[in-house]
Structure 1
Amino acid sequence: MTPGSGLEQHPLLPWLALQHTRGIGPVRAAKLLEQLGPRWFLSPRLPDCGLSEAQLVQLLTPSWSVLEPLLEWQRQGPARHILSWDHPAYPELLKTLSGAPLLLFVEGDPDALSLPQLAVVGTRHPSYVGKENTRNLVTQLVDVGAAITSGLAIGVDGLGHQAALERGGVTLAVLGSGLEQCYPKRHRRLAGDIVDGGGALISECYPWEAPQAHHFPRRNRIISGLSLGVLVVEAAERSGSLITARFALEQGREVFAIPGAWQNPQAGGCNRLIQQGAKLVCEVNDILEELVAFSTAALKIHPPATEELLPYPDLLDNVGLETTAVDLIASRCQQPVQEVVTRLVELELAGWVESVPGGYVRARRS
Structure 2
Amino acid sequence: MHTLPATDIELAAWLRLSLAPGLKPAALRLLLSAFGLPEAIFEQSPEALAGIAGEAAARAVLAPTSPEFDAQFATVIAWRELPGNHLVALDDPAYPPTLLTMPDPPPLLYIKGRLDLLHTRAIAVVGSRSATPQGVEDAERFARELSVAGVTIVSGLALGIDGAAHRGGLEGAGGTVAVIGTGADLVYPSAHHALARQIAVQGAIVSEWPLGTPARAANFPQRNRLIAGLVSGVLIVEAAMRSGSLITARLANEMGRDIFALPGSVHAPLSRGCHRMIKQGAKLVETPDEVLEELGFAKPSAAASACASPVPRDGEVRADSAPAAASAVASSAITAEGQRLLAALGHAPTTLEILATRTEMEGAVLQNTLLQLELAGRLTVLPGGRFMRASHG
Q: Distance in 2 between matches of 1:246 and 1:40?
A: 36
Contact 2:10–2:39, Cα closer than 8 Å, also in 1:
no
Is residue 180 from structure 1 mapped to residue 185 from structure 2 by the alignment?
Answer: yes
Task: Return the match for 1:284 from 285, 288, 291.
Answer: 288
For residues 69-118 of structure 1, give each alpha carbon's deviation from its aligned partner in whole angstroms, at most 9, with x where no partner exists.
1101112x121111111111100101110111111101111121111111
Q: Distance in 2 between matches of 1:208 and 1:174?
A: 16
Corresponding residue for residue 124 of structure 1: 129
Deviation at 1:172, TM superposition (A): 0.7
Q: Distance in 1 between matches of 2:271 and 2:165?
A: 18
Contact 1:82–1:105, Cα closer than 8 Å, also in 2:
yes
Structure 1 residues 227-236 or 160-169, which shifts more?
160-169
Deviation at 1:173, TM superposition (A): 0.5
Is residue 266 from structure 1 mapped to residue 265 from structure 2 by the alignment?
Answer: no
Taking structure 1 as reference, are residues 54 and 38 closer, same or farther at Cα in structure 2, changes over 3 Å only? closer
Corresponding residue for residue 96 of structure 1: 101
Corresponding residue for residue 220 of structure 2: 216
Amino acid at match of 2:135: G
For residues 157-214 of structure 1, give each alpha carbon's deviation from its aligned partner in whole angstroms, at most 9, with x where no partner exists.
00111122234541110111112210011111101111222x1111111221111111
Corresponding residue for residue 319 of structure 1: none
Give runs of aligned pairs for residues 37-116 of structure 1, distance below 5 A. Answer: 37-38=36-37, 41=40, 46=49, 48-52=51-55, 54-55=59-60, 57-58=62-63, 63-75=69-81, 77-116=82-121
Corresponding residue for residue 26 of structure 2: 27
Taking structure 1 as reference, are residues 273 and 65 closer, same or farther at Cα in structure 2, changes over 3 Å only? same
Deviation at 1:124, TM superposition (A): 1.4
**1:118 alignment partner, SS class:** strand
TM-score scaled to structure 1, two decimals? 0.74
Give runs of aligned pairs for residues 1-366 of structure 1, distance below 5 A. Answer: 3-7=1-5, 10-38=9-37, 41=40, 46=49, 48-52=51-55, 54-55=59-60, 57-58=62-63, 63-75=69-81, 77-167=82-172, 169-197=174-202, 199-292=203-296, 300=300
Q: Distance in 1 between matches of 2:51 and 2:5?
A: 28
For residues 34-70 of structure 1, give each alpha carbon's deviation from its aligned partner in whole angstroms, at most 9, with x where no partner exists.
4344567268765742554644533899953432211
Deviation at 1:244, TM superposition (A): 0.7
Contact 2:147–2:168, Cα closer than 8 Å, also in 1:
no
Q: Distance in 1 between matches of 2:186 and 2:75?
A: 15
Taking structure 1 as reference, are residues 50 and 215 closer, same or farther at Cα in structure 2, changes over 3 Å only? closer
Amino acid at match of 1:74: R
Contact 1:33–1:40, Cα closer than 8 Å, also in 2:
no
Taking structure 1 as reference, are residues 37 and 183 closer, same or farther at Cα in structure 2, changes over 3 Å only? same
Taking structure 1 as reference, are residues 156 and 242 closer, same or farther at Cα in structure 2, changes over 3 Å only? same
Q: Distance in 1 between matches of 2:61 and 2:124?
A: 38
Structure 1 residues 126-135 or 84-93, which shifts more?
126-135
Amino acid at match of 2:75: P
Taking structure 1 as reference, are residues 56 and 237 closer, same or farther at Cα in structure 2, changes over 3 Å only? closer
**1:104 alignment partner, SS class:** strand
Give the number of the structure whose alpha-carbon radius of gyration is greater.
Answer: 1
Corresponding residue for residue 329 of structure 1: none
**2:150 alignment partner, SS class:** coil
Contact 2:89–2:109, Cα closer than 8 Å, also in 1:
yes
Identity across aligned pairs (percent)? 38
Amino acid at match of 1:160: A
Amino acid at match of 1:11: E
Structure 1 residues 174-183 or 127-136, which shifts more?
127-136
Deviation at 1:4, TM superposition (A): 4.0
Amino acid at match of 1:270: C
The structure with more helix, counted as a fraction of residues? 2
Q: Distance in 2 between matches of 1:54 and 1:236?
A: 41
**2:295 alignment partner, SS class:** helix
**2:9 alignment partner, SS class:** coil
**1:10 alignment partner, SS class:** helix
Corresponding residue for residue 361 of structure 1: none
For residues 243-268 of structure 1, give each alpha carbon's deviation from its aligned partner in whole angstroms, at most 9, with x where no partner exists.
11011011111110001111100100
**1:178 alignment partner, SS class:** coil
**1:49 alignment partner, SS class:** helix
Contact 1:257–1:273, Cα closer than 8 Å, also in 2:
yes
Q: Distance in 1 between matches of 2:130 and 2:21?
A: 39
Amino acid at match of 1:5: T
Amino acid at match of 2:284: L
Q: Distance in 1 between matches of 2:232 and 2:222?
A: 18
Contact 2:30–2:53, Cα closer than 8 Å, also in 1:
no
